[in-house]
Amino acid sequence: MLRGLNMDRQLLISSLIEYAGRNHSNTEVVATDSTGRVHRTNWTQVHRRAQQVSGALRASGIKQGDRVGTIGWNDHRHLEVYYGITGIGSVLHTVNPRLREEQIAWIINHAEDQLVFVDPDFLSVAETIAPETVSVRSWIVLADEVPETSLRNAVAYEEWIKDNSPIEEWPILDEWSAATLCYTSGTTGNPKGVMQSHRSIVLQTWATCTGDGHDVNSSQSILLAVPMFHVNGWAIPFAAAMAGAKLVLPGPDMSPESIVRQIQEENVTFSAGVPTIWLSVVQHLQESGADVPSLNRLAVGGSAAPRSLMDTLEDDYEVFVSHVWGMTEMTQGSAGRFTHKVVGLDREEKRYRQAMAGRELYGVELRLIDGEGNDVERDGVTPGELLARGPWVAGSYFGLEDDSTHISEPDGVWLRTGDVATMDSEGYISIVDRAKDVIKSGGEWISSIELENAAVGAPGVAEAAAVGLPHDRWGERPLLLVVLEHDKELNPEEILESIKPHVASWWLPNDVVAVEEIPHTGTGKIDKKVLREQFSDFSWSN
């Protein structure tokens, strides 16, 4: 091999914050903490405080490869901790506080976290699980002082970083060193740990900054509406540093009122998050008559974004929706921006593409297979299981030997995503369903996602969920559950009429039931498992 003659520089997360710290002392990071206090800081200060975190971690005996947990909101301290932990080669393990306490304990034990940063809001969780999580030597409370607590080994973050000297230089690590650990929500079986290397994070961050990724750049003011515990906030905390963009961290209050206020006050141009958040923001905008003139683009993913959401955001508020698909195993997995050809198409054609879940993004190869493992054609209509591979796709799980999620092919390892999808010749994917949520009626498949998306466009419907329930004749039939808008009455015929033009006639739900709320998983997805359990005794009216 004739070797290329480039410099040997490792791709490290510390280089992102160092770059931002050197060049973007005038670029703000605005954060609201759990007391409601707003902190205005900048990238130079975030860099410096991250070095203080690293110094204190080293003084606490944290070494390279040690896992360090966080149970926090989106705020400046969590951001400092992101860089402080990874900068010295220890592993940032973000824990989803919305999980049940026993799940949190399971995850912390599995990761063997040595130390956990915890927001005061979650102190009671720490108190409950502390006796079982024996690997945790200290709980660092993300606050000025420690509130009253039964935890014996709790320390206040501000005291802790002040009492130790910051590190002055970031160590040069191997780019393959583990950097972050994030567990999938484990709707089937135990959660699985996705461990990303520094190299993977830097590469996926670069992809996030590309025009067809999320186009994160220095002209932007970004509101992070994705929790930092959900797939590293979709890499946006890293991308904002790589680009030197303004970053707005909203803290615990994710109400539509608070989001809209922060967009207005901080001149937010771009935000990202799951559809549920934007559905509630749109409803609030419509009811209050408020506007968000600075906002021009949203990245929406994590579950399917309904067509009606795009229509309203673009037609009424001039906000382009970049609809993407992704997973904990790879962060962003598809590109949401239109190709040149699509930009020139008419509104209907564009929206049709937009309602799909993006298209193949360089760096994440996508492919479909059928039940026998044969390749499915990219014809835009034939469904198959979606497989993915690439330099930032997880190749295996942390501490899991029995891994049925990856398959070995002659050309290497592929990740089975568990999603059923179609793909066309331009790489546009359309997620039919999670393999386990697809409704099987008379041997044919009904997409619960398409039913839900059509139902959300029906009059009076705020949110909808479709689940397959046992049916004597058909095996399974769809039941539609709807949360009605304020003051609206249930009118099943009207809802079904409105869905009819969008789906095959035999897909129409057999029944429509109004519910107070639809349960969501810790990452904002409709919890179909809970719904199927809740309606297990349901009897069909027809």
How far does Cα 320 stand from its chain's mean position?
19
Using a 10 angstrom Cβ sphere, with 0-12 exposed, 13-18 middle and 19 or more buried, the burial of residue 101 is middle
Give dist(CA 406, CA 111) in Å, integer.
Answer: 21
The reply on whether position 328 binds ligand ADP by CB under 6 A is yes
Binding residue (CB under 6 A) for ligand ADP from 523, 526, 528, 531: 523
Of 86-94, 277-285, 302-310, 480-488, the window that binds ligand ADP (rule: CB under 6 A) is: 302-310
Alpha carbon separation from 524 to 255, 274, 275, 309, 509 (Å, rounded):
14, 7, 9, 16, 24
Pick 78 or 192: Cβ nearer ligand ADP: 192
The pattern of x and - marking residues 485 through 514 that bind ligand ADP according to CB under 6 A reads ------------------------------
Residue whose token pair is 């009819």: 500
Extended strands (E) in 424-518: 429-434, 439-441, 444-446, 461-471, 475-484, 511-514
In DSSP notation, 275-312 reads: HHHHHHHHHHHHHH----TT--EEEE-SSPPPHHHHHH
Using a 10 angstrom Cβ sphere, with 0-12 exposed, 13-18 middle and 19 or more buried, the burial of residue 218 is middle
Pick 120 or 193: Cβ nearer ligand ADP: 193
**By CB under 6 A, how many residues form the interface with ligand ADP?**
22
Pick 17 or 309: Cβ nearer ligand ADP: 309
Of 326-334, 369-377, 501-509, 512-520, the window that binds ligand ADP (rule: CB under 6 A) is: 326-334
Of 6-14, 70-78, 85-93, 299-307, the window that binds ligand ADP (rule: CB under 6 A) is: 299-307
Binding residue (CB under 6 A) for ligand ADP from 521, 526, 527, 531: 521
In DSSP notation, 89-148 reads: T-EEEE--TTS-HHHHHHHHHHHT-SEEEE-GGGHHHHHHHTTT-TT--EEEESSSSPPS
Give dist(CA 212, CA 223) in Å, integer.
Answer: 19
Of 147-155, 323-331, 365-373, 491-499, the window that binds ligand ADP (rule: CB under 6 A) is: 323-331
The reply on whether position 434 binds ligand ADP by CB under 6 A is yes
Give dist(CA 527, CA 518) in Å, integer.
Answer: 8
CB 304 within 8 A of CB 357: yes
Active site residue 184: yes
Active site residue 440: yes
Of 73-81, 262-270, 318-326, 488-496, the window that binds ligand ADP (rule: CB under 6 A) is: 318-326
The reply on whether position 357 binds ligand ADP by CB under 6 A is yes
- Cα Rg for the chain, rounded, in angstroms? 23
Q: Which of 18, 175, 329, 360 is catalytic?
A: 329
The pattern of x and - marking residues 197 through 226 that bind ligand ADP according to CB under 6 A reads ------------------------------
The reply on whether position 301 binds ligand ADP by CB under 6 A is yes
> Residues in the chain, how many?
542
CB 265 within 8 A of CB 245: no
Give dist(CA 231, CA 212) in Å, integer.
Answer: 19
Q: Which of 162, 341, 436, 440 is catalytic?
A: 440
The reply on whether position 231 binds ligand ADP by CB under 6 A is yes
Binding residue (CB under 6 A) for ligand ADP from 525, 526, 527, 528: 525
Binding residue (CB under 6 A) for ligand ADP from 69, 227, 302, 509: 302
The reply on whether position 453 binds ligand ADP by CB under 6 A is no
Sequence-ordered list of residues with C-beta below 8 angstroms from that of 145, at least 6 positions apart, any chain: 156, 158, 159
Give dist(CA 271, CA 298) in Å, integer.
Answer: 5
Pick 129 or 388: Cβ nearer ligand ADP: 388
Of 134-142, 322-330, 395-403, 451-459, the window that binds ligand ADP (rule: CB under 6 A) is: 322-330
Pick 49 or 323: Cβ nearer ligand ADP: 323
Name the residues annotated as catalytic: 184, 329, 440, 445
Instruction: State the residues that interact with ligand ADP by CB under 6 A.
Output: 184-185, 231, 301-304, 323-328, 357, 417-419, 431, 434, 521, 523, 525
